[in-house]
Amino acid sequence: MNIISLTHKRLLTAVVDWSITLICIGAFTTLILLATGAPPVSTYYHIFMGAFGSWVKFGHSVKAWIPLTLCACGLLYTFKIGLWNIGIEGQMIMGAVFATGILKWGVGSENEILFLWLSFPAGLVGGALWAVVSGFLKTKCGVNEIFAGLGLNFMAQGLILWLIFGHWKQPGIASMSGTETFPQTLWLPQAFAVNVPPTGIMLTILALCITAYILRFTRIGLNLTAIGNNATASVLFGLHPDRYMLLAMSLAGGLSGLAGCIQVVAVYHRLIPSISSGYGYLALLVVMLAGFRAGMTAIISLFFACLNVGSIQLPMVLQLDSSLSGVIQGAMVLVTLGVHAWRKRRAAS
């Protein structure tokens, strides 16, 4: 009897929390829409149809889901050890830069397919290297990872512009539209008519499964958690926080570098200044909203990707700015964090 009423109570709490969260977000978004004079119902309908209206549109959402989930996957490691890897954006950019370098080398060679596959490890290494710089600054030079990461993000952005306007510029004229588009032989094969790369989906699911396994069932996962909870105690236990921080950073950087590589080989087929599309920063929100759990990360990534893709057509149909998706995503994270903290505060008192 006692047990039943206890689970009953927990279920009720969860339902109440979710209702409060959803009502807050809905009310907030609707108020903002009303403030700009936009019709709320029609706006929500267009976002939904923009993401699910046809297979092609859903394909776009899946294409956004791949890099977002890969970055979020990487962030699970760094959050586990208590690091704020804001530098993930720059790591993704470096992955794209390294992958482009390999592909440029492969243009016109006899077995281009080899270079296409080589671009994946190249992206991985590019992202991991940039993350290790941030990791070394944190562990050896006492630079907070947030500021090191931010600085490195802007430096990566500078590098990409320098390359696009310098060595890698299009023949004739350098422009913000990016480097020259690669020949189709260097594109990642796309499935069906929906333009979704099956390789990308499989890699992402694989990364998710491996991450979930490592974090839950292996010694590495346990040690990352131990250091994240109490670094001083972990030293007494014989662990080396510095080494694990570098490991977590390079795993995060590698996965986000892979995301950058996929943006080049499967989405844009060239290097553009905004190659990362802000997915690194968005992935930080995804992981926070998912409560640092791998399974939830995949679901929330898909939801965020759909929101992003769904709001792309808002400027055309309703003359609204597409940044509405970002507002909804931010509000979701804030309200969820707030309700959770409020619940904890009530439980404590």
Partner 1 sequence: MTEMDSAMILAGVVAGAAPIVLAAIGETITEKSGLINLSLDGSILLSAMAAFVVSYKTQSLAAGFAAGAMTGAAVAAIIAVFSIYLKLSQVAVGFVLALMTRDLAYFLGNPYSRIHGPQVTPLPVPYLSDIPFIGPVLFQHNITVYGSLLAIGLSGWYVYHTSYGLKLRSVGENPVASYARGIHPHGVQMIHAIIGGLLVGLAGAVFSLSAKPGWGRPQGAEGTGWIALALVIFGGWNPVKAAAGAYLFALLQVMGIYFQGWFPSIPAQVFQTAPFPLMIFILVLMYASQQESVRILAQNRPWLKSILRFFSAAAPTALGKSFHQQ
Q: Compare residues 106 and 135 and give the one whose CB is closer to partner 1.
A: 135
Which CB atom, from 13 or from 144, has the smaller least distance to partner 1?
144
CA distance readout (Å), 80 to 75, 83, 125: 8, 8, 22
In angstroms, the CA 30 to CA 24 distance is 10
| Nearest residue (CB) to partner 1, 45 versus 154 | 154
3-state secondary structure of 196: strand
CB of 333 to partner 1, least distance (A): 5
- Nearest approach in angstroms of CB 213 to partner 1 is 27
The answer for residues whose C-beta is within 8 angstroms of residue 304's C-beta and 6 or more apart is 68, 282, 285, 286, 325, 329
Instruction: Please report how close the Cβ of residue 76 comes to partner 1 at its closest, in angstroms.
Output: 15
Q: Return d(Cα 160, Cα 164) in angstroms, integer.
A: 6
Q: How far is the CB of 112 from partner 1 (least distance, A)?
A: 29
Token readout for 324 is 């509405």
Question: Which residue number, 23 or 341, has a Cβ lying nearer to partner 1?
Answer: 341
CA dihedral 66, 67, 73, 79 (to 10 degrees): -150
Q: Which residues make up the interface to partner 1 (CB under 8 A)? A: 32, 35-37, 84, 86, 137, 141-144, 146-148, 150-152, 154-155, 157-158, 161-162, 165-166, 174, 281-282, 284-285, 288, 319-321, 323-327, 329-331, 333-334, 337-338, 341-342, 344-345
Q: Least distance (Å) from partner 1 to the CB of residue 293?
A: 16
Nearer to partner 1, 258 or 283 (CB): 283
Nearer to partner 1, 150 or 220 (CB): 150
Helix (H, G, I), strand (E, B) or coil at 191: strand
Q: Smallest distance from the beta carbon of 150 to partner 1, in angstroms?
A: 6
Q: How far is the CB of 166 from partner 1 (least distance, A)?
A: 6
Instruction: Tell me phi and psi for residue 191, to 5 degrees.
Output: -90, 145
In whole angstroms, the minimum distance from the beta carbon of 262 to partner 1 comes to: 23
Q: Name the residue nearer to partner 1 (CB basis): 258 or 284.
A: 284
By beta-carbon proximity to partner 1, the closer residue of 131 and 285 is 285
Q: Least separation, in Å, of the C-beta of 203 and partner 1?
A: 27
Distance from CA of residue 339 to its chain's centroid? 24
Q: How far is CA 36 from the centre of its chain?
A: 30
For every residue of 54-102, DSSP letters joined together read SHHHHHHHHHHHHHHHHHHHHHHHHHHTT---TTHHHHHHHHHHHHHHH
Q: For residues 139 and 246, is the Cβ–Cβ distance under 8 A?
A: yes
Residue 174, both tokens: 């350098």
DSSP secondary structure string for all residues of 129-167: HHHHHHHHHHHTT---HHHHHHHHHHHHHHHHHHHHHTT
Nearer to partner 1, 24 or 194 (CB): 24
Distance (Å, whole) CA 146 – CA 138: 9
